[in-house]
């Protein structure tokens, strides 16, 4: 790494010489604008909008538009007279609990390395910050601008986080904030259950920039002269309007399945919401089945009563037997004797 700034941390009457290094780097794939037909780089000329002449870099100044077509021109001498433009000091103003600093204020991060003779006071400040569990609020002039920043410890190194000024934070002004939107307790409970089912420890190394990897693959294929085969993407149909509770419940089941857990339907320990819904469903089914049960019970009672009445009479009806007519046997004829 190359130091981009040198100065000193002013800690009371103690001055700690440090070198400043950018703590982050963007991994975006950068492109140049080129001529499509021959790949030639596109260049731009600095041309004055009034006389149309190209302006040398030394003749370029900074201008502030005050409206109405008027421009205030500032020169290098104007900037040189401003305070802190050449100051190389990081002034510690106060020490505050880290949780009191809203993360939206953070802008850019820098590592601080001690100069050779400043190692001991550097370590002293580092250890004191660690023991106090606080961060230092400081002011520093970087790139001709005074900036608010914090000093904290990361992996044994002092880290300078520049911050935005409070008046640089926009106020959210959205219409829905004035609407009286009520969230039902069951919905809130199910949403909390979804958060619990997706809870975990943050490990940034497990996340990757898939778009950048795919773009790099396209570039590599172009360099090697091979064809890039992209997997076909199935276009998802727009989601229809669904019940919020049903969507939350399905999300909980999917999150549990991803973690190797049983879905809410087969969980041994149901949530209060799922238990309540199961009880409601059982009650509805019981209510629905009640008329049929009453009808069956009434029929059974009637049959029992009929059987009891029959048994109490002691006699059973006799069915008269059918008389079968006797079969007549034809008489034998006696033959006549001849004279």
Segments making up each domain of the chain, as ranges: 5-27+81-168, 181-199+244-288
Backbone angles phi, psi at 319, to 5 degrees: -90, 120
Looking at every residue in the chain, the average pLDDT score rounds to 79
C-alpha 13/C-alpha 45 separation (Å) is: 51
**Phi-psi category of 278—alpha, beta or left, where left has phi over 0 and alpha has psi -120 to 50?**
alpha
What is this structure's pTM? 0.62
Q: According to the model, what pLDDT value does residue 266 have?
A: 47
Could you give the percent of the chain with pLDDT greater than 70?
A: 71
Average pLDDT over every residue of 131-148 = 89
pLDDT of residue 144 exceeding 90, the answer is no
pLDDT of residue 23 exceeding 50, the answer is yes
* pLDDT level of residue 270 (50, 70, 90 thresholds): very low
Decide: 164 and 147 in contact? Cβ < 8 Å: no
Which CATH architecture does the domain made up of 5-27+81-168 adopt? Beta Barrel (2.40)
**Phi-psi category of 9—alpha, beta or left, where left has phi over 0 and alpha has psi -120 to 50?**
beta
Q: According to the model, what pLDDT value does residue 305 have?
A: 58
**Which of the residue ranges 203-207, 221-225, 251-255 would you say has the lowest mean pLDDT?**
251-255
Decide: 94 and 134 in contact? Cβ < 8 Å: no
Q: According to the model, what pLDDT value does residue 137 have?
A: 95
Q: According to the model, what pLDDT value does residue 248 have?
A: 74
List pLDDT tens digits, range 292-304.
555 555 656 565 5
C-alpha 6/C-alpha 18 separation (Å) is: 6
pLDDT of residue 194 exceeding 90, the answer is no
List pLDDT tens digits, range 58-102.
899 899 999 888 899 988 888 777 765 557 889 999 999 999 999
Q: For residue 248, give the nearest of 183, 201, 203, 175 by alpha carbon.
A: 183
Q: According to the model, what pLDDT value does residue 271 have?
A: 47
Residue 109 burial (CB count, 10 A): 17
């Amino acid at each position: 790494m190359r130091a981009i700034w040198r100065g000193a941390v002013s800690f009371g009457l103690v001055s700690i010489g440090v070198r400043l290094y950018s703590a982050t780097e963007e991994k975006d794939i950068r492109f140049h604008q080129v001529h499509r037909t021959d790949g030639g780089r596109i260049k731009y000329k600095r041309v004055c909008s009034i006389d149309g002449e190209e302006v040398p870099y030394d003749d370029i100044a900074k201008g502030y538009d005050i409206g109405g077509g008027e421009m205030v021109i500032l020169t290098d001498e104007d900037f040189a007279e401003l305070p802190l433009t050449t100051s190389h000091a990081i002034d510690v103003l106060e020490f505050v609990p880290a949780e009191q600093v809203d993360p939206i204020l953070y802008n850019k991060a820098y590592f601080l390395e001690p100069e050779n003779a400043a190692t001991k006071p550097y370590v002293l400040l580092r250890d004191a910050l660690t023991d106090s569990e606080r961060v230092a609020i400081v002011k520093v002039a970087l790139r001709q601008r005074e900036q608010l920043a914090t000093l904290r410890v990361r992996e044994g190194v002092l880290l300078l986080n520049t911050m935005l000024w409070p008046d640089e934070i926009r106020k959210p002004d959205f219409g829905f904030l004035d609407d009286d939107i009520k969230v039902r307790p069951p919905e809130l409970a199910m949403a909390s259950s979804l958060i619990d089912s997706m809870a975990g420890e943050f490990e940034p190394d497990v996340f990757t920039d898939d778009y950048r990897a795919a773009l790099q693959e396209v570039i590599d294929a172009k360099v090697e002269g091979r064809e890039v085969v992209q997997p076909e993407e199935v276009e998802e149909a727009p989601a229809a309007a669904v019940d919020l509770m049903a969507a939350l419940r399905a999300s909980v089941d999917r999150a549990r399945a991803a973690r190797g857990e049983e879905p809410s339907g087969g969980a041994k320990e149901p949530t209060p919401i799922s238990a309540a819904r199961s009880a409601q469903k059982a009650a509805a089914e019981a209510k629905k089945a009640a008329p049929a049960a009453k009808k069956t019970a009434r029929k059974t009672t009637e049959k029992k009563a009929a059987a009891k009445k029959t048994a109490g009479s002691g006699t059973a009806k006799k069915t008269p037997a059918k008389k079968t007519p006797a079969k007549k046997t034809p008489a034998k004829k006696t033959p006549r004797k001849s004279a």
